[in-house]
Amino acid sequence: MEKLSKAVNDIAYTQKSNLRNLSPLHRSLLPLLSIASSLYKLALSLRHSLYHHHFFQIHRLPVPVISVGNLTWGGNGKTPMVEFIALCFARSGISPLLLSRGYGGGDEVNMLRRRLLGTSTKFGVGANRAAVASHLIQKHGYIDIRKGSWYEKQKLDCKVQSSLDSEKIGVVVLDDAMQHWSLWRDLDIVMVNGLTLWGNHQLLPLGPLREPLTALRRANVVVIHHADLVSEHTIQDIESMVRGIKKSVPIFLTKMDPTYLFEVGIINAKIPLTALHEATVLCISAIGSAESFVKRIQKMGALYVDRIDFSDHHMFHTKDINMIRARLGELEGKFGSKPIVVITEKDYDRDPEILQQLYPFKVFVLCSTLKVLPYRGSTEDSFKKFLQDQLKLEFPAEN
């Protein structure tokens, strides 16, 4: 299954002109994937039509709803953006409710729960997010943060921790929800992976697209993620493509900013990033954008960086551990010292225990936070102001 998943991913990110260079296995999959993609397109069109003509109900919640989504599978920065937004509201005294479908064993939800521990953030997990939200709003109550009286002492400020004045839900944030049409949203944020973009521009499973690129017309804002790992020319090309579909849409840039490491099994001890300087590192990941993870490790001054990539949300098993051990043994023999394994937070939270089986090799977890990059006058502050304006909030101006 892992081999098949990799083959499908390879095809999705191979341009049409290069298909003849694919292996026989890859080429043998093309007819089946093309048929499946056509059926997917038909089903997508039918589903959209049913919502458009009100055969399927779109539920409205009594609080503002922010959707964070994307047009392709994995690695677009959706979950870090959800965390960023949740912190903005929680630190402003507004309790956010994060809704997730809990896909892939719930690794993303587990990571968010750990990182947002101690805030007023609440979590709802389930395929029927409208029902989950309604249940939690009934349980905790809600507050209409769009009423002027709420803003007399509150600001949407992600930098300064303020007192949490209310446990009632004030805003809902949908993780991975661009195609989740059963809930009305006040703001649609679309994340774009600057490294891989839209692959071969084909719909699933022949390509990585969940919807045609014209779906960008629904976006209230487009965020180009991993913008620090691509050239300025690439950013300009992406901007041009986006504006060719929706001319006036605001565009922001983000990156993942590595902050510290911790060792598997010793979660509370922060290790500085300098621990990787001049080290032999083996990157292990089962995420949507392994390339961005590896590139960041390479920028940390390691002596040598090797990698083993698994498919997104892959659950590690004993055979995987044995394969990793074999690679570590090869690296130790080549460089004369024990290599360090580095994994992502999502991989850690999927199964915090199994990678301890790599002892006596050290396994570090890289912790990072999402940062909004300056671009054409846009900053982190202007992004927060954009959220505020789009939700028609009336926070007072800062002094």
Assess whether 237 and 337 both reside in one domain. Answer: no
Kindly report, residue by residue over 63-99, the tens digit of the pLDDT.
999 999 999 988 899 999 999 999 999 998 899 999 9
Assess whether 183 and 108 both reside in one domain. Answer: yes
Kindly report, residue by residue over 317-371, the tens digit of the pLDDT.
999 999 999 999 999 999 999 999 999 999 999 999 999 999 999 999 999 999 9
Distance between CA 244 and CA 251 in Å, rounded? 13
Distance between CA 66 and CA 105 in Å, rounded? 23
Assess whether 35 and 171 both reside in one domain. Answer: no
Kindly report, residue by residue over 312-329, the tens digit of the pLDDT.
999 999 999 999 999 999
Token reading at 319: 């055979």
Distance between CA 194 and CA 197 in Å, rounded? 5
Distance between CA 74 and CA 392 in Å, rounded? 31
pLDDT, position 104: 63
Assess whether 86 and 230 both reside in one domain. Answer: yes
pLDDT above 70 for 161: no
Collapsed DSSP state (helix, strand, coil) of residue 69:
strand
What is the CATH number for 291?
3.40.50
* Confidence class for position 397, pLDDT limits 50, 70, 90: very low
Q: What average pLDDT is seen over the chain? A: 92
Other CB atoms within a 10 A radius of the CB of residue 31 amount to 9
Assess whether 148 and 275 both reside in one domain. Answer: no
pLDDT above 50 for 154: no
Distance between CA 187 and CA 220 in Å, rounded? 6
pLDDT, position 105: 64
Assess whether 183 and 268 both reside in one domain. Answer: no
* Full domain range(s) for residue 103: 65-250+378-390
Assess whether 77 and 213 both reside in one domain. Answer: yes
- Asked if residue 115 is part of any domain, the answer here is yes
pLDDT, position 146: 80
pTM higher than 0.85: yes
Count of structural domains, the chain: 3
Assess whether 86 and 102 both reside in one domain. Answer: yes
Q: Are strands 304-309 and 266-271 parallel, antiparallel or unpaired?
A: unpaired
pLDDT, position 157: 54
Assess whether 41 and 126 both reside in one domain. Answer: no
